[in-house]
Structure 1
Amino acid sequence: MNALFGRKVRDLEELKELTKEAVQDECEGTPYEVTREVLMSDAAFREFAEDLLKDQSWIDKGDGGTNRNGEIRCIRVKNRDTGEKILVNGEGYDYPRYTALELE
């Protein structure tokens, strides 16, 4: 599967807009591997999604990067109530430096 990752995206609304534009431009995206999943309540997910540049305690400096196959290693952050998902690649930082919507 491929995802359309954006760098230093402010919030979920900006991520949705950037994704919409990339899909319209027929961008292929980048292959990725989910290394773990973080489940959040709707309230926690909304708080997280309102500021994607905020440091997160569940992002480790070792999260992110690429695997041997060149796929982006990322965390799947999932809203337990709605099923909405954001892929996060911290790329050595404590905040979601690269983010993407996981599209079905």
Structure 2
Amino acid sequence: MKALFGRKVCDLVELKELTHQAIKEGKKGQPYTITREVILKDAEFRDFAQDFFKDQPWISHEDGGMDQDGKIRCIRVVNIDTGEKVLVNTEGYDYPRYTGLEL
């Protein structure tokens, strides 16, 4: 599995635009592994997706980084109502420092 991750992307709209542009440029993404899933209701997911700089209570300092195989460790955040997903690599912060979409 591979994803294109953006650093300090402000929201889901920007993430989608950056991902679309990167695909157009032929970028292939980075391998990743899911450490856990966070399931949110639609309103919670929209709140999360409108501000990736906001600290999230479901993020801990242990989330993110790379595993021993060089894969990015991330949380898969799922909108339970729509199925939309965002990958989050916190790199030890309390907010989604790196975000990506599954390719």
Q: TM-score, normalised by structure 2?
A: 0.98
Quick one: distance in 2 between partners of 1:26 and 1:69? 24
Q: Structure 1, residues 2-57: CA drift from partner, whole Å, max 9, x if none?
A: 10000000000000000000010110110000000000001100000000010011
**Secondary structure of the corresponding residue to residue 67 of structure 1:** coil
> Residues of 2 paired with 1:31 and 1:100: CA distance?
11
Following TM superposition, the consecutive aligned residue runs of length 4 or more in structure 1 with deviations greater than 6 angstroms are none
Q: With structure 1 as the length reference, what TM-score do the two structures score?
A: 0.97
Structure 1: give runs of 5+ residues left out of the alignment.
none
Aligned to 1:54: 54
Which structure 2 residue ranges, 5 or more long, are not aligned?
Answer: none
Among the aligned pairs, what percent are the same residue?
65
SS at match of 1:4: strand
How much does 1:78 deviate? Answer: 0.2
Measure, in 2, the Cα distance between the counterparts of 1:29 and 1:55: 26
Alignment-derived partner of residue 85 in structure 1:
85
**Superposition pairs for residues 11-22 of structure 1, below 5 Å?**
11-22=11-22
Distance 2:91 2:19 in 1: 20
CA separation in 1, counterparts of 2:101 and 2:19?
Answer: 7
Q: Which residue of 2 aligns with 1:72?
A: 72
Q: Which residue of 2 aligns with 1:27?
A: 27
Q: CA deviation at 1:94?
A: 0.2
